[in-house]
Homo-oligomer: A and B are copies of this chain.
Amino acid sequence: MDTRERLIQSTRELLWERGYVGMSPKAIQERSGAGQGSMYHHFRGKPDLALAAIDRSAGEMRDRAETAFTGSGTVIERVAAYLRRERDALKGCPVGRLTQDPDVMADPGLSAPIERTFAWLTDRLAGLLAQGREDGELDASLDPATTATALVAVLQGGYVLARAAGSAEVYAQAVEGALGLLAGHVRQP
């Protein structure tokens, strides 16, 4: 891995662990093994480096979701697979956590990829639910858009509750609760 790549990876880790306000250029340098001059040669500064890191994390999050959504099985099975996918619940969502960072949200360049990622995710999931409704797999009364938003919110809130409790199990409970609620809208074949 070259220096530029190591800088991006270290920044991704630090943004995940400490957020933007809690992350210093010095910490990035120490973790990546790059020197001061090296960092400022490859990137204009902290915001520039953070943007590269955020773009990378957002792209990865999107790719993983798409993999689950395009998997095999019924709509409900694919949604369940996405929700139950293995996650490091105690670390939180590397993208979602940045919405709590004042300096990230104050910078339109940094907040835009976050906004796009969640807009895409919610829309994609809503499309999947709409398809399940058309196929007769899901109740006609189920609203795809609000339901999709609620499901994504369960994941993001699950991280919050897991961290609050200091237990990844709480995340799993939130997911099972959501799937239990969803089960009431699945039509029996």
Smallest CB-CB separation from A20: which chain B residue? B22
Inter-chain contact A145/B164, CB cutoff 8 Å: no
Interface of A is mostly: helix
Closest to A166 in B: B115
User: Which residues of B sit under 8 angstroms from A100, Cβ to Cβ?
Assistant: 19, 92, 97, 100, 160, 163
Give the complex CA separation of A154 and B97 in angstroms: 15
A76-95 vs B, CB cutoff 8 Å, 1 = contact: the mask equals 00000000000000001100
Q: Name the residue of chain B whose CB is nearest to the CB of A176.
A: B146
Does A178 lie at the interface of the complex (its beta carbon under 8 Å from any beta carbon of B)?
A: yes
Q: Are A181 and B174 in contact (CB under 8 A)?
A: no
Question: Which residue of the partner chain B has the closest CB to A169?
Answer: B149
Do B21 and A19 touch (CB < 8 A)? yes
Chain A residues 105 to 147 lying within 8 A of chain B, measured CB to CB, are 105, 111, 114-115, 117-119, 122, 139, 141-143, 145-147
A34 at the binding interface (Cβ < 8 Å): no
Copies of this chain per assembly: 2
> Which residues of B lie under 8 Å from residue A153 when comparing CB positions?
153-158, 160-161, 174, 177-178
Kindly list chain B residues whose C-beta atoms are within 8 Å of the C-beta of A175: 150
In the complex, residue of chain B having the shortest beta-carbon distance to the beta carbon of A164? B118
Nearest chain B CB to A137 CB, angstrom units: 14
Interface membership of A75, Cβ < 8 A:
no
Whether B170 contacts A161 by the Cβ 8 Å rule is no
- The reply to whether A105 and B154 form a contact with Cβ atoms under 8 Å apart is no
Sample (24) of A-B pairs whose CB atoms are under 8 Å apart = A19-B102, A21-B21, A21-B22, A97-B100, A99-B160, A99-B163, A111-B164, A141-B183, A141-B184, A142-B180, A145-B173, A146-B174, A148-B177, A149-B158, A150-B154, A150-B173, A150-B174, A150-B177, A150-B180, A153-B157, A155-B157, A156-B156, A156-B160, A184-B184
